[in-house]
A and B are shown apart, each in its own frame.
Chain A
Amino acid sequence: MGLIRFFKKIEPDKTKHPFMHTLYDGFFSFVFVPNHTTSNGVHIRDGMDLKRLMTFVVIALIPAYLFGIYNIGHQHFIAMKEFPGFFEAANLKFFYGLIKIIPIFIVANVVGLGLEFYYAYKRGHNIEEGFLVTGALIPLIMPPDIPLWILALAVVFAVIIGKEAFGGTGMNIWNIALLTRMFVFFAYPTSITGDTVWVSGFETLKVGAAADYSWWHTGLLNTIFDWFGWLKFDPSGVIADGFSGATPLGIGAEGGWEGIVSRYPNGVSDLFWGKIPGSIGETSKPLIILGGIFLLVTRVASWRIMLGAVLGTALTAILLNFWGATPMMQIPWYYQFFIGSALFAIVFMATDPVTAASTNKGKWIYGFFIGFLAIVIRVLNPAYPEGWMLAIIFMNTLAPMIDYYTIQNHIKKRLKRA
C-alpha cells in the first residue's frame, strides 16, 4: 500500500521529536488499524475497540447537534418576532447557529485535545481517544453565548483536575463534560444561569436591544445568500416587545405547567420538538431519543442505567405530584421529561461507563438515584433551576461506594456458600 509507505516516510524520530511523534502516532492509529498481533493470551480479538465505541457515541449525538445548531438561529429570530415558523428562513437560522457553535466546538476540542496530547507525550503513552466524546458533548451542554475564554478555562480545569490528575482516560471519577459545565456554573454563574443567556446574538437581552451581527453575517454570508437570492441578515433587527428569554424551568417555578405551556405558541408540541431556548443540544426530545435508541441497539450504552434513571425520575415526580405544594410540584410527572435536560442527561451523561457504577446491580441503583436526585433538586430547591448536572456528578462520586457494597454483598454470599 502506497499510503502506508508515505506515512512511514514522514514518521518523526521518536527520540529527537517525542512530542511530534506522539502526535504522529495518534493520527496514524486514527487512519489505520495498527499491525499489532496478539501475544500472551487469546490469539484472536474482538473487532471492537475504544475508538469505535467512542465514534458510535459521537454518531448518536449528530442529530442533536444539527437540531441544536438550527435552534440557536431559530431562538435568535423568535426574539425579534421574525420568521416565527420553524422552517422559515432556514438558511439564516442554520448559518447563524453554525457561526455560533463552530468557535465553541473548536475551543473545547483544541484545548481538551491539546492537553490530552501533551499528557500523552509527557507520560510516553499513546494518545487515547477519551476526549473524542467529551469534546463532542461539551458544546451541547453550553448556552450559545458562552464566552470562549470561560469555556477554555473550564475545559482546562476539567481535563487536568478531573482526568489527568487521576491518570487519564478510564481513570476519572467525574464525567469530564459535566465537570466543565460545573466549573462554569460555580465560577461564572451569570454566564450559564438565569433568563438572559439562552437566546444569543444581542448585546443585552432586553426589549429594543439590537441584533449583534459581525462581518461573517453581514459581509460574507449576506453576499453568498445574495447570489442565491435567499433571505439576508438584517442588522436593524431589535428584540420585540413582550419578549422574555426565560426557559421552561424558570417559568415553572412561578407559573407551573400552565405557565410553561402558555409561554410557547404551540404549547407542549414546542417543548417536545425542542423549539425552546436552552442549552444547545438538550432541547429536541425526539432526536435525543433517537440517539438513545441507537446507543441501546448497538449496546454501546447501558440500558440498566437509562431505565433506572427513567424510573427514578418518574417515581420521584409522581410522589411530588401527590404532595403538590408548589406550582413546580404540580407539573404532571411525565412532563418532567419534556423540560430541562432530563433526556439528554439520561441518555448521554449518566451512561458514561467510566464514571458510572460498574456492576450490573449497581447500575440500577446508580441510574435510579440520578433520576431521584435530579427531580428533588429541580423541584424542591428554588436556587438551582436544574438538577441533572449536580445529580450526576454527585452519583459519580457515590458510584465507587455503590460498587463497593455490591461487591461486598457478593463476597459475603460466596463465603456463605462454603
Chain B
Amino acid sequence: MNYLRKGHDIRLQGAAAKHIVPAEGVSTFAVQPFNFRGIVPIPKLNVNPGDKVLAGDVLLIDKKRPELKFVAPVSGEIESINRGEKRAIKEIVIKYNGNMEYKSFNPPDLKSCERAELVSFLQDAGVWPLIRQRPFNMVPDTESIPKNIFISTFDTAPLAPDLSFVMNESGESFQAGLEVLRKLTNGKVHLGLDANRKNAPSSVFRSAQNVEKHWFRGKHPAGNVGVQIHHIDPINQGDKVWTLNVQDVALIGDLFVKKIFNSKRVVALTGSEVGGAKYIETYMGANICQMIRDKVETENIRIISGDVLSGEQKFKCEFLNAFDDQITVIPEGNQYELFGWLAPGVARPSISRTFLNFIFKNREFKVTTNSRGEKRAFVVTGDYESVLPMNIYPQHLMKAILIKDYELMEGLGIYEIEDEDIAICEFACLSKQNLQQILRQGQELLIAQA
C-alpha cells in the first residue's frame, strides 16, 4: 500500500446523497471539441443542422489526423453548430427526443485480432479521444504504444462522486473495457484503489482481472491518477502513458458487450447551492442548466463542470465537459468583508494553522469564490510541497515556466504533472497565483516546440 502523507482534504457542504435518479427534462447534448487537447480547432463536420443521427454516428473528423472521429453521445436531430473565436467549433448540439437509438457496432474478436485492427475499430467507434495520453493529457497518437495504462478508481477532490457507488452495476462492462486496454499496451494496466475508507472499494474494482492493483491511502490529491502514476511508474522524458476515467472504461467495454456506444454517465450534482444534492444518470455532454433546473435556489452562483479545484466555469445553458462526472454549484464571492484577513477562526477552509479550523477536522464549509486576498509575488516557500504528495518542487517548476527555461521545466518534472495535480497547490497559494494557468503556458511551450 502507498501511504501518501502529504495532501489536504477540502470539506465542503453539499455532497451528493447516495441515490441515483434519471435525468428528467434534459433534452440537449453536445460534443465540445475544446475538451480534447491536441486536435485542430476547426475539425471537418460530418453533419449539418437538421440531420438525424444515432448514438455513435460520426459528427466530426480531425483534419490533421483523419482517423480521429468524434461521435454523437445520443440519438436525435442536430440542433445547431456553435462556433467560438476564429470560427473554431465550440459545440455541436443534438436535440434528444427521449428515445435512444444506437448505431450497432461489429467489434473484432479480442482474442484473435491484431492491435492495429483494434485501434482502427476504436477510432471508428469514436472512443479513441476518451483516452488521454500523458504528458499533457492529449488525444493519443495512433502510432505510439503506451508504456502503461493507468486508471484511478477513486476521486478525492472536493465533493467528488464516489466512483465505487457510481460503477457498482457496471462490473461486466468495466472488465470488458480493461481487457481491451490490456491489448493496447505492452506494459500493464494499473488500477489505483482507495485504501482510505472503511467501506472498501466496490467489488467491480476489487475483483478486476488481469490488471495490477495499487492501494493508495492519503488525502487529496491521492485519488488523482497523476499522483498515482508518480508512485507506480513515473513518467520520464519521452515516455507516453495513457489514462482513462472509470466510466469511459465501461463505455469502451460496452462496445464489446452490448455492441453500442453507450455514453451513459452518472453525474454527481454537488455544492452548497444545490438543493438535495444527488447523482443523476444522463449521457455525456448533457446540458447543465437543464440538469440543475429547479434545484438551484439563488441567483448569485457559479456553476462548475467538474470540481472546485480544476473544473471549468460554465455559463447558462452550456454543456458538461466530456471527461467530467460532477457539477458543482457554489455562491459567488463578490462581496467585501470587514477585516476579513484578521479574524481568528472564521468558517473557511485553509491549510494554514492561523485559523482555528484545523482543530475541527470534519467541519464542512460553505465556500464562496472570493479570492480572499490579492495577487502577490511568491513569498512563502514549502506550502506547495506540503500539499502535493509528489517528489517535485512545484514552486521552482512554476518559476522555470515563467522564465521559459525549457531544460529546467523538463528537469523539474513538468511531464509528470497536470492541472488537477497542481490545483491543490493553487488553492493553498497565499500569494493567489494562478498555477494551473502557468502550468498550461509551460505545456503549450513544450507542445509547440515538439
Contacts and interface: CB of A to CB of B under 8 A. Distances in A.
Interface string B351-380: 111110000000000011111111011111
Nearest to B400: A407
24 contacts: A31-B339, A32-B337, A34-B336, A34-B371, A35-B370, A38-B370, A38-B371, A42-B423, A44-B330, A45-B427, A46-B429, A47-B349, A47-B355, A49-B373, A49-B432, A52-B352, A53-B380, A53-B430, A55-B342, A170-B431, A354-B379, A407-B411, A415-B411, A418-B236
B434 interface: yes
B338 A31 contact: yes
A360 B391 CA distance: 12
Interface string A21-53: 000000001011111111111111111111111
A405 to B, nearest CB: 13
A27 B430 CA distance: 20
Given A49-B374, A51-B373, A53-B380, A43 B302 contact: yes
Contacts of B427: 42, 44-46
B269 to A, nearest CB: 16
Contacts of A213: none
A28 to B, nearest CB: 9
A215 B236 CA distance: 74
A23 B167 CA distance: 57
Contact of B395 (A41, A48, A56, A358): A358
Contacts of A51: 341, 373
A126 B374 contact: yes
Contacts of A168: 377
B437 A300 contact: no
A237 B219 CA distance: 67
Interface in B300-345: 302, 304, 308-311, 313, 328, 330, 332-342
A302 interface: yes
Contacts of A123: none
A4 B336 contact: yes
Contact of A359 (B238, B352, B393, B408): B393
A10 B12 CA distance: 38
Contacts of A39: 313
A34 B99 CA distance: 50
Contacts of B377: 128, 167-171
Of A45, A52, A167, A411, chain B has the most CB atoms within 10 Å of the CB of A45
A11 to B, nearest CB: 13
A46 B308 CA distance: 12
A44 B342 CA distance: 19
B376 A170 contact: yes
B135 to A, nearest CB: 13
A360 B382 CA distance: 7
A229 to B, nearest CB: 39
Contact of A52 (B334, B341, B368, B393): B341
B308 A42 contact: yes
A414 B341 contact: no
Nearest to B328: A43
Given A42-B426, A47-B346, A33 B369 contact: no
A49 B395 CA distance: 17
Q: Is the interface of B mostly helix, strand, loop or mixed?
A: loop
Given A36-B374, A43-B369, 5 more contacts: A32-B336, A37-B369, A42-B436, A46-B349, A47-B355
B381 A358 contact: yes
Interface in A31-81: 31-53, 55-56
Interface string B215-235: 000000000000000000010
Contacts, number: 202
B369 A44 contact: yes
B385 A45 contact: no
Contacts of B346: 47
B428 A46 contact: yes
Contacts of A299: 352-354
Of A34, A51, A171, A410, chain B has the most CB atoms within 10 Å of the CB of A34
Nearest to B304: A43
Interface residues of A, number: 56
Interface in B411-430: 411-413, 423, 426-430
A47 B357 CA distance: 11
Given A53-B430, A358-B395, A407-B393, A45 B371 contact: yes
A31 B337 CA distance: 8
A1 B380 contact: no
B374 A35 contact: no
A384 to B, nearest CB: 30
A48 B340 contact: no
Nearest to B355: A47
A40 B434 contact: yes
B10 interface: yes
Interface string A287-316: 000000000011110100000000000000
A171 B393 CA distance: 19
B214 interface: no
B177 to A, nearest CB: 30
Contacts of B351: 46, 48
A356 interface: yes
Contacts of B330: 43-44
A50 B373 contact: yes
Given A49-B430, A171-B377, A410-B412, A33 B354 contact: no
A325 interface: no
Contacts of A37: 302, 332-334, 368-371
Contact of B348 (A4, A42, A47, A298): A47
B68 interface: no
B9 to A, nearest CB: 13
A47 B350 contact: yes
Contacts of A417: 234, 236
A3 interface: yes
A12 interface: no
B437 A40 contact: yes
B237 interface: yes
A297 B350 contact: no
B282 to A, nearest CB: 22
A298 B344 CA distance: 11
Contacts of B236: 414, 417-418
B5 interface: no
A299 B411 CA distance: 30
Contacts of A56: 354
Contact of B431 (A34, A50, A358): A50
Nearest to B346: A47
B396 interface: yes
A353 interface: yes
A23 B370 CA distance: 23
A170 B54 CA distance: 58
A360 B385 contact: yes
Of B304, B432, B437, chain A has the most CB atoms within 10 Å of the CB of B432
A165 B8 CA distance: 37
Contact of A43 (B311, B372, B374): B311
Contacts of A128: 376-377
A50 B334 contact: no
B338 A32 contact: yes
B434 A41 contact: yes
Contacts of A38: 333, 369-371
A403 B395 CA distance: 12
B401 interface: no
A363 B393 CA distance: 14
B396 A358 contact: yes
A55 B343 CA distance: 11
B388 to A, nearest CB: 12
